[in-house]
Structures are given as structure tokens and as C-alpha cells.
Amino acid sequence: MDFKIGRSRSTVGNEEPAALGNDRVLITRDCILQWKLEGKVFYVQDGDAGTKQAIGETTYVELQPEFAFRVPSGTLMIPLSLAITVEDIAGTENHLIWSTTTNDIGAGSSTTLYPVNYRRDSKFGASVQTNTLYTGNASTATGLIEVKRWYHPFASGAVTDGTDLHHHVWTYKDPDMPILVGPATLQLHWYGGTAMAGFMEYTWVEMAASDVGL
């Protein structure tokens, strides 16, 4: 996708689309780069290569997701990249399920994560809230729809990042990636026959819903 930037003034003072050369070729910019420059793209990490996140779920518990993006009213969120690397597990019943809701499920009893703006000098903080490791129930979801699932009989032991069975990346280019308008939640349930460990890296863009006429 391209994003057309700004307008400029010609040598006679008229305001015109920003362009290069006498042929007035329009200047375009990738939309994600433009959003980063505007301070609208955020990142959060849950566990890392040195300190893996322990996942305690061994069964599906709807009110206790592993991770949740909580989108407030008036905010639009587009996930750009959701990357999960699974390590140190065994068993044949291992699931990673993303689902959306039409409400903010709340923090319940969970750990709050703090997103970072990709434009590090930006004064803008994230409106979307991120929570992990729900050990107490969140609010009951409304409009719950499963939008992505991975299932594998993972091998036990540490694995190499990038292997098909252990490294899962879901991007905005996939046709099943949702767009969320708050109040809404995008949540991950990650569970298996035995406890698991791994790390997650998530990137998204957010903006006022009114920016796109909502």
C-alpha cells in the first residue's frame, strides 16, 4: 500500500500535490512508514529469547486468555504483525487461538504490559491496553468469534526460531486479519496437554476512529 503525502506550493505560489520534477510525478510513501512517522504504530513484547513466558493453560478457559489487546471506545486498531515463538512443550493437544469480541473484556487478574511507540521521540502513548497471563476471570465476552487457530503436536525441548511448527506470524496482509473498532478485544488463548513456554512480539497501528469516518 502507498500513502500519498501532503501538498506543496509551486514556484508561482499555488498549492499542489507534492511532486518531483517537471513531469509532476506524485511522491508516495508506504502507509506503515507514514503511520510510524505520525507516531501511530506501537510494539509490545511478552517474554523474550532470554526470559521465556511460562504459559500455564492446559485447557481452554474462555474468561482467562493468555493475552489481550483491549481497544477503547473511539479507537481503531489494525494489527500489523503478531509473532509467536513456542518453546519447551510436549504433547499432542497444543492450540493457539485468536478471537475477537465486541466489548472490552477488562483486565481481570492479569499482568499489564506497556507498549512502546515505534517513533521513540513521540509524545503519543498507546490507547490500546495490553494484558497477559489472566489468572482471574475477565468480563464475559460479547460477540466472540474465533478468527485464527494454529494446532500442532509440538515436539518437546527448545526449538530454533523460524521453524514451521514453532514460529507463527500473522500479518495485516492476511485476509483474515481483523480490524477492531472499540470497544473491542483481540485475545489469544494458548493451551496444551502440558504447560508451555515461549515469547511473543506484537505490532499494531491505532488511530481515532473518526480519522476514517467512523
Which of the two residues, 118 and 47, has the higher pLDDT score? 118
Question: 40-212 domain in CATH 3.40.50?
Answer: no
Please give the pLDDT value at position 4: 45
Please give the pLDDT value at position 162: 45
Q: Assess whether pLDDT exceeds 50 at residue 16.
A: yes
Yes or no: say if 204 and 42 are a contact pair by the CB < 8 Å rule: yes
Please give the pLDDT value at position 8: 39
pLDDT per residue as tens digits for the range 143-202: 999 999 887 655 544 444 444 557 788 999 999 999 999 999 999 998 877 777 778 899
Query: Domain map of the chain by residue range?
Result: 1-37, 40-212
Please give the pLDDT value at position 68: 95
Using CB atoms within 10 A of its CB, is residue 5 exposed (0-12), middle (13-18) or buried (19+)?
middle
pLDDT per residue as tens digits for the range 46-102: 887 677 777 767 788 899 999 999 999 999 999 999 988 877 665 667 788 999 999
**Residue range 5-19: average pLDDT?**
50
pTM of the model: 0.80
Amino acid at 159: V
List Cα–Cα distances, 98 to 51, 58, 146, in angstroms.
23, 16, 6
CA distance 212 to 214: 6
Please give the pLDDT value at position 23: 62
